[in-house]
């Protein structure tokens, strides 16, 4: 079974600075999908960014980018030019490539990001 580990329960960053959230995972599969979700105080789960394991190029969405290291099974999220609205819980998630019953997400325990002035 796959596992996802987020070793940083809390992180803090100053506004306009850059922060990196760590995520590692364990799998025996060679093809899979990885996601970062954001959960603000409103508790909505919002997709931030996704990465296909077969793609070597790191995904980027505006101020959000990932550092995907497949051999190390590492999938960190970098937030540039941090804004107050980035304050939230961030969850890393893994998804198997198979469809149907295997298309479940395995979540890490989350990292709470604080953004200070």
Q: CA-to-CA distance for 53 and 77, rounded, in angstroms?
A: 15
DSSP reduced 3-state for 86:
helix
Cα-flanking dihedrals φ and ψ of residue 85, to 5°? -70, -5
CB of residue 16 vs another protein: minimum separation in angstroms? 28
Considering the complex, state which of residue 41 and residue 85 has its C-beta at the smaller distance from another protein.
Answer: 41
Q: Which of 65, 84, 66 is nearest to 14 (CA)?
A: 84
Residue 9 Cβ, how far from another protein at the closest point, in Å? 9
Identity of the residue, 17 or 26, whose beta carbon is nearer to another protein in the bound complex:
26
The smaller minimum CB distance to another protein, of residues 14 and 60, is found at: 60
Question: Closer CB to another protein, residue 54 or residue 81?
Answer: 54
Site residues (vs another protein, CB under 8 A): 33, 35, 37, 42-47, 50, 52, 91, 95-105, 107-110
User: Closest separation between CB of residue 93 and another protein, Å?
Assistant: 8
Query: Using an 8 Å Cβ cutoff, are 51 and 34 in contact?
Result: yes
Q: d(Cα 45, Cα 86) in Å, to the nearest integer?
A: 13
């Amino acid at each position: 079974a796959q596992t996802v580990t987020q070793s940083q329960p809390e992180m803090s960053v100053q506004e306009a600075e850059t922060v990196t959230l760590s995520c590692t995972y364990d799998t025996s599969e060679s093809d899979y999908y990885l996601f970062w979700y954001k959960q603000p105080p409103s508790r909505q789960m919002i997709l931030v960014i996704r990465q296909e394991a077969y793609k070597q190029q790191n995904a980027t969405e505006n101020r959000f980018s990932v550092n995907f290291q497949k051999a190390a099974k590492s999938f960190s999220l970098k937030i540039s030019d941090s804004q107050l609205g980035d304050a939230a819980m961030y969850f890393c998630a893994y998804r198997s490539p198979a469809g149907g019953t295997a298309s479940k997400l395995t979540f890490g325990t989350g990292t709470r990001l604080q953004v200070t002035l």
